[in-house]
Structure 1
């Protein structure tokens, strides 16, 4: 491993550590993980540092099933705007295909693949969710596959006929703990970590699908992240979004978050056909639109939250972006969506408030159906 991952993968870490009497902030500092990653989904963290943090915490607490416990605090919402497209797909197979296509937004090294059944049964397949850069350490593997299991349970609203679970490591926690969590036979020291399921699961239709929301989310994903090879630009967008309103959004700060030199970042963005300034302008535009249309904050405060020092600067930018004044945009006299693409993040929040569909729950991940 050697890339970055959104800190959404750490959701629940603080809770579990504190349950065992540990100090989450001290642990993150020890393994050089930004402390803000404990309470935010969009901090970019080295996947190596995160994996070492999980292994170290599991050892010192001690909590050998740390990866499983963390997953119980996570829901499909950790995928960000991708979650809207996934949960509104017509079938399980379509949802997994969508997740596979855009999973690089969560981490450029994560992959979701459907493989032949390792047991050789023609009616079954294996669902693999892991890293393209080798097998992650034990706790990261547990957390990744446990989240995958819980996501599928959420999509089908219950058990999904899980046959068995294969894990590529020897367990530290008792084998019975894994069997209880997954509700199925668990085999260790396997060639790959995967879930064995009936092939027919892929054709299972999802309930409560909203085709309009799915199209909005896919339009957003395709317009902002058109191909998996463009992995630096979305990471920079996330970094800028994190910096707005808290620190000056500069390329050297973004480069530091991504663990690279500013000139290297400039070159990689240029290779993807964009630049830091263009991404900053896009993020400011989308943030300004959300704040103007979904809050009553004073315009001076809106300016500060999008990284502009004066209200007059906000007015000039809003006129350039939308062809209207901030007051007109707020009153509805301006455009109905930001120039460029629909704000899928806003639709994610709206959809959660209206339906509550992105909550998996925090109980056992067991699957007892056969």
Structure 2
């Protein structure tokens, strides 16, 4: 069972969407989301035979969170709640179900920017630009390769063992944004960063595609470039301008901290054994000393960032019960198992095997079988 010891909600009166300590001094970035992220939660849980209040309480969230005014909750708590509900209700597709029960309006002013974009491409470009205002714990990129546009989504929080439900929920919202273009074809393919949770037929029904790829580096959709050029019928330039002005005033298009970009580079390079500062500097088009200075200015260092990434990846890999410990060590860039063992004791106060046992005991050693969709 997922259980969080503290209450993860905050009420504010200021005209802001989200806020928190996003400094790069530690491994646990605070990211808050509006309580609108839980719109329809209670009704869905009751439909599936559960008790909303009990599930919320297990994750440190007040039972009346849906009805509170101007309330926020920790993104970590939302992620934990989705996982907890999927397990307790025996519904591995819970995240997708919740997304289908919700409207774009849960995104607040960001939804206005998206809905009133001129084209599908502009909708995604604006979403990628201002997503950090809605939730600094998420990132989206848009990249064109020939006749295909690659939409990629990442959850940036560290030390979160399972983000499966949150990822699948986000993919449904990406697909819904594509559909703002009207009668457009479905995505070419859908990419999932985790292993398959539900029968393939469930994913095909939700996304309307047969090309599904699991255990990928990141989540995302591949879309035809022609689809991205489709016009949005509801587009209103005056409303769009006002919404963009609000987003700029609230948070603007901030450049991501260099430490965050170094973390992403380390995640990609760790399995190759080449996650060193020189290669990271080359990726960022910086020299070694400049990268070191910029990391120090953010209150960290390359070794601290790399260590944090390894700790986060270790938890995620160990949560997959079928990965041999020797393979986990290699994926983290360790050439010897003993070095991985020492690191685990330093991070978690226990051996890799003991940490895996604790993770699986808390989350359940295997995903439950899913009853038929209703």
1:165 is aligned to 2:190? yes
Output the TM-score relative to the length of structure 2.
Answer: 0.56
Structure 1 residues 68-118: Cα deviation after superposition (integer angstroms, max 9, x where no partner): 10011122211112222221111111111111122122211111211356x
CA contact (8 A) 2:41 2:98 kept: yes
Partner residue, 1:103: 131
Partner residue, 1:131: 155
User: Gaps spanning 5+ residues in structure 1: where?
Assistant: 231-370
User: Equivalents in 2 of 1:113, 1:39: separation in Å?
Assistant: 33
Which of residues 123, 144, 147 in structure 1 aligns to 2:173? 147
User: Equivalents in 2 of 1:21, 1:157: separation in Å?
Assistant: 35
Q: Secondary structure at 2:78's aligned position in 1?
A: helix
Quick one: structure 1 residues 208 and 61, their matched pair in 2 at CA, closer, same or farther if it must change by over 3 Å? closer
Partner residue, 1:368: none
CA contact (8 A) 1:100 1:111 kept: yes
User: Equivalents in 1 of 2:72, 2:216: separation in Å?
Assistant: 31
Which of residues 162, 170, 174 in structure 1 aligns to 2:199? 174
Partner residue, 1:45: 73
Structure 1 residues 107-161: Cα deviation after superposition (integer angstroms, max 9, x where no partner): 11111211356xxxx32121112323368611111111111111221x1124444
Quick one: structure 1 residues 39 and 5, their matched pair in 2 at CA, closer, same or farther if it must change by over 3 Å? same
Structure 1 residues 276-309: Cα deviation after superposition (integer angstroms, max 9, x where no partner): xxxxxxxxxxxxxxxxxxxxxxxxxxxxxxxxxx
Aligned ranges 1:225-304 → 2 under 5 Å: 225-228=251-254
Q: Secondary structure at 2:223's aligned position in 1?
A: strand
User: Equivalents in 2 of 1:228, 1:7: separation in Å?
Assistant: 24
Output the TM-score relative to the length of structure 1.
Answer: 0.56
Q: Secondary structure at 1:22's aligned position in 2?
A: coil
Quick one: structure 1 residues 13 and 23, their matched pair in 2 at CA, closer, same or farther if it must change by over 3 Å? same
Quick one: structure 1 residues 63 and 51, their matched pair in 2 at CA, closer, same or farther if it must change by over 3 Å? same
Quick one: structure 1 residues 55 and 108, their matched pair in 2 at CA, closer, same or farther if it must change by over 3 Å? same
1:212 is aligned to 2:249? no
Partner residue, 1:184: 209
Partner residue, 1:293: none
User: Equivalents in 1 of 2:206, 2:78: separation in Å?
Assistant: 23
User: Equivalents in 1 of 2:215, 2:114: separation in Å?
Assistant: 31
Quick one: structure 1 residues 129 and 158, their matched pair in 2 at CA, closer, same or farther if it must change by over 3 Å? farther
User: Equivalents in 2 of 1:38, 1:198: separation in Å?
Assistant: 37
User: Gaps spanning 5+ residues in structure 2: where?
Assistant: 1-27, 257-374
The Cα shift of 1:59 comes to 0.7
User: Equivalents in 2 of 1:98, 1:38: separation in Å?
Assistant: 27
Q: Segments of 4+ in structure 1 off by > 6 A?
A: none
Partner residue, 1:58: 86
1:30 is aligned to 2:58? yes
Partner residue, 2:225: 199
User: Equivalents in 2 of 1:123, 1:143: separation in Å?
Assistant: 26
User: Equivalents in 2 of 1:208, 1:58: separation in Å?
Assistant: 35
CA contact (8 A) 1:75 1:151 kept: no
CA contact (8 A) 1:163 1:197 kept: yes
User: Equivalents in 1 of 2:174, 2:67: separation in Å?
Assistant: 22
Aligned residues: 227
CA contact (8 A) 1:168 1:190 kept: yes
